[in-house]
Structure 1
Amino acid sequence: MDTDPDQGKKPHSHPSNPYTSKANPHQQQPTHPPLQQQKRNSPFHPSTSPPKLTLSPKKPSQTIFTPINLILFSLFLILLYLRLRPSKPPAATLPVPPPPTVFKTFTPPTLLPYNGTANMPVYLAVRGRVFDVTPGRNFYGPGGPYQNFAGRDASRGLACGSFDADMLTEDLEGPLDKLEDLGGEEMEALRGWEERFTEKYLVVGKLVPVGHAEAGE
């Protein structure tokens, strides 16, 4: 029996060449843009303009030196200065001068009310001169060690260094004490007292007896 020499042999399989193989009509082929279009779309192609860089606007930086803040800060400094500035010293006020003293002529009865009671000034007489000893009220006014001399002729008591009431003239309507019986030492002591009164106190009048020609002045 004649046999086919190719019978029983497996057919040789050749690897399919993608470039020579026929396309399967049922297989979807990948689509690629043309090479010229790919080059044109490439970022490195000279005809392609480089992408534009857009810079976002910068936000204004926040600062404390705004007009309102500067005004408020100025007001704060003004208020701080007004509070901390040294206060002005009070205007120097001149002491109120005492009312002018009118020189008067006193008699023992008219001198008596000036003994510091009832808000009256304190006067006393030494050898015919009347002194205003009101600044020394603590000594010559009510309750003071020399209160017996207030409103009276204190000449004999000062000369003798005695502040007792028996040194005073009892009869206010009678003549003044002329001190004729005092010795030299007593008169020297009296002059010393008179000098002290002249240095410290004002002379506001003179003392005359009742019925004297000047008594009504």
Structure 2
Amino acid sequence: MSFSNPLNILLIPPILYLVFRLIVPHPLEATPAASTYSEEVYNWLPAKHPEVLCHRKYTAKQLLAYDGTGRDKGGERILLAILRVAQNGKWGERTVFDVTAGKTFYGPDGVYGNFAGHDASRGMAKQSFETEMLNPIEGPLDKLEDLTQAEIDNMRGWHEHFEKKYIVCGELVEEGEV
């Protein structure tokens, strides 16, 4: 090995360090207690397994239970629905999304909190968070026939955003279709 090349001089310290580590192991690697599980060291198990939602059909009344308030059997889970519009303009199903991960936005105190447990299609299309945008629970689903093309495109954009960000857990249907 020639020391006239500066690269050879730069490689000497890393090589010496690696040889030293082979001969003298790191103190934490040498103690078996550091590599075994201990509740005092680290608890990797969750206190409770999260509730699993299966893909299913919801009515407006059933969806209301998932508004994040915990007042009904839905617990603190937050679901909302948005109508899917295909690129060709044909209307699809109303997709139900589990937005619990975004509870700061969709929870009871969030800016979009009024959409939790509801069909948010009209509100998302019109960019309005007013309670008048929500479909009445007791009536048929909103046909959304009065929306402009710009509002329909806006709703499609929201649906695409939700598909990329949240779990699809069902479909919102009329009462009696479950």
Please state if 1:85 is matched with 2:27: yes
- 1:179 counterpart residue number: 144
- 1:166 counterpart residue number: 132
Shift of 1:93: 8.6
Q: Secondary structure at the match of 1:86?
A: helix
Shift of 1:174: 1.7
Over aligned residue pairs, what C-alpha RMSD do you find?
2.6
Distance in 2 between residues matched to 1:157 and 1:113, nearest whole Å? 20
CA contact (8 A) 1:160 1:186 kept: yes
The AA in structure 2 aligned to 1:197 is F
- 1:102 counterpart residue number: 54
- 2:19 counterpart residue number: none
- 2:159 counterpart residue number: 194
- 1:207 counterpart residue number: 172
Distance in 1 between residues matched to 2:36 and 2:167, nearest whole Å? 32
Distance in 2 between residues matched to 1:130 and 1:159, nearest whole Å? 16
Greater strand content:
2
- 2:116 counterpart residue number: 150
Shift of 1:101: 3.4
Distance in 1 between residues matched to 2:98 and 2:45, nearest whole Å? 20
For structure 2, which runs of at least 5 residues remain unmatched after alignment?
1-23, 84-93
Q: Deviations over 1:156-176 (max 9, x none)?
A: 000000011010112x23211
Shift of 1:209: 1.1
Distance in 2 between residues matched to 1:169 and 1:101, nearest whole Å? 24
Query: What is the count of residue pairs matched by the alignment?
Result: 130
Change (3 A) 1:187 1:135: same
Greater helix content:
2
For structure 1, which runs of at least 5 residues remain unmatched after alignment?
1-80
Q: Secondary structure at the match of 1:153?
A: coil
RCO higher in structure (CA 8 A, sep ≥6): 2
Shift of 1:89: 5.6
What TM-score does the superposition give when structure 1 sets the normalisation length? 0.54
The AA in structure 2 aligned to 1:121 is R
CA contact (8 A) 1:115 1:151 kept: yes
The AA in structure 1 aligned to 2:53 is T
Shift of 1:98: 5.3
**Superposition pairs for residues 15-26 of structure 1, below 5 Å?**
none
Identity of aligned residues (%): 45
**Superposition pairs for residues 37-48 of structure 1, below 5 Å?**
none
CA contact (8 A) 1:113 1:120 kept: no
